[in-house]
Amino acid sequence: MSIKNDLFLRALKGETVDRPPVWMMRQAGRYLPEFMALKEKYDFFTRCQTPELASEITVQPIRRFGMDVAILFCDILVIPQAMNIHVEMKPGVGPWLPNPIRTLKDLDHVVVPDIHESLGYVMEAIKMTKEKLNDEVPLIGFAGSPWTILCYCVQGQGSKNFDKAKEFCFTNPIAAHMLLQRITDTTIAYLREKVKAGVDAVQIFDSWGGMLSPEDYQTFSWHYIQQIIDALKSEAPVIAFGKGCWFALEEMSQSGAAALGVDWTITPENARKFAGSNITLQGNFDPTRLFSPPAEIKKMVTSMIDRFGKDKYIVNLGHGILPNIPLENAKAFIDAVKEYKQN
């Protein structure tokens, strides 16, 4: 079966389109009342680990707003969980890892798991989601970058600067690279299984890449993302998104990734200049700008498309949608793209 709305897949290939495709990072989530209704009944990891719930949450925004692509509801921290690292989601705190990794000895219990045993529920969720989507739109599977996963494993929780994670890398590089390689190997196996289960593209979220200097970024983050792209690119299109990593766009554009995500701290013109004209770009609307009035959002989105160009471009936010965005504003963002006409 071919997918009825293949705009997203065509944009990833760099084909000419009438308008760019649109989706929003974190679109399956906490700004939707129907999501909050499920959140009240089931805790976070229950929602991730129950295929019926994960697939339902994935299709909620598609039903409501009709984005051009769905992204599987899950979390980047299912990877450390599978690797025998205990992860909780604490209300009011967020991710909480009670036994953070701080020494080489701490790596003794960290495994590269059997994906079917530890993460089979994700593959079931993909199959159920594909049934619900009924080939209307494609489905994205995702993973965190190895560096971003390491940040949580070492810091033990979210952070403004991930100082303990960086200290670990700089004082204990042998242990850091061992951990990064295990995360990379696990992530490659995980994304491969996701593609086999039916996702149409994969995205790597390097949420904390911008915490590193350009030199350290190469050593502790990009080196491992490149391994993932190399392993996956012949099996599915890969999108690499590094928040705060505009300095690496030129190198990223040579990586074999199908598209690069960009955040809101760079102009469309500079993003194109650094990445070159041969690669598809995705982004870069400031998520907080969704608090602007709907009419203003529509104007800004239209201007953003004009500046990036309608081809080799996927409209998105520069990071995840915030929980308290009014629904009509999210709708204005999506509608602006669907109504786009080139001047």
Alpha carbon distance 153, 179 (integer Å): 9
Banded model confidence at residue 78, pLDDT cuts 50, 70, 90: very high
Reported as type and span, the H/E element at residue 302 is: helix 294-308
- Domains located in the chain, CATH noted: 7-338 (3.20.20.210)
319 is in an annotated binding site: yes
207 is in an annotated binding site: yes
Q: Which residues pair with 204 in a beta bridge?
A: 143, 240
pTM to 2 decimal places: 0.97
Q: pLDDT at residue 112 above 70?
A: yes
Banded model confidence at residue 125, pLDDT cuts 50, 70, 90: very high
- For 140-153, write each residue's pLDDT tens digit: 999 999 999 999 99
Q: pLDDT at residue 126 above 70?
A: yes
- For 205-237, write each residue's pLDDT tens digit: 999 999 999 999 999 999 999 999 999 999 999
213 is in an annotated binding site: no
- What is the structure's pLDDT at 343? 67
Count the alpha carbons within 13 Å of 240 in the hemisphere toward its beta carbon.
32
255 is in an annotated binding site: no
- What is the structure's pLDDT at 134? 97
- For 287-300, write each residue's pLDDT tens digit: 999 999 999 999 99
Banded model confidence at residue 61, pLDDT cuts 50, 70, 90: very high
Average pLDDT over residues 317-337: 98
30 is in an annotated binding site: yes
User: C-alpha angle 39/81/204, rounded to 5°?
Assistant: 80
Which long-range contacts (C-beta less than 8 Å, at least 24 apart) are formed by 289-294?
A: 289/264, 290/317, 290/321, 290/322, 290/325, 290/326, 290/329, 290/330, 290/333, 291/325, 291/326, 291/329, 292/329, 293/329, 294/328, 294/329, 294/331, 294/332
| Percent of the chain with pLDDT strictly greater than 90 | 98
- What is the structure's pLDDT at 173? 98
- What is the structure's pLDDT at 281? 98
Alpha carbon distance 185, 154 (integer Å): 18
The dihedral region occupied by 300, where left means phi > 0, alpha psi between -120 and 50, and beta the remainder, is alpha
152 is in an annotated binding site: yes
Cα dist. 129→70, 134, 137 in Å? 9, 8, 11
The mean predicted confidence, pLDDT, of the chain is 97
75 is in an annotated binding site: yes
- What is the structure's pLDDT at 23? 98
- What is the structure's pLDDT at 1? 63
Banded model confidence at residue 342, pLDDT cuts 50, 70, 90: confident
27 is in an annotated binding site: yes
Residue 236: DSSP 8-state = S
Q: Is 15 helix (H, G, I), strand (E, B) or coil?
A: coil
State the greatest distance between any 2 C-alpha atoms of the chain, in Å, as a whole number.
61
Cα dist. 309→16, 17, 119, 246, 333 in Å? 11, 11, 39, 19, 17
Q: pLDDT at residue 252 above 70?
A: yes
Q: Which residues pair with 259 in a beta bridge?
A: 239, 280
- What is the structure's pLDDT at 91? 87
- For 161-204, write each residue's pLDDT tens digit: 999 999 999 999 999 999 999 999 999 999 999 999 999 999 99
- What is the structure's pLDDT at 249? 98
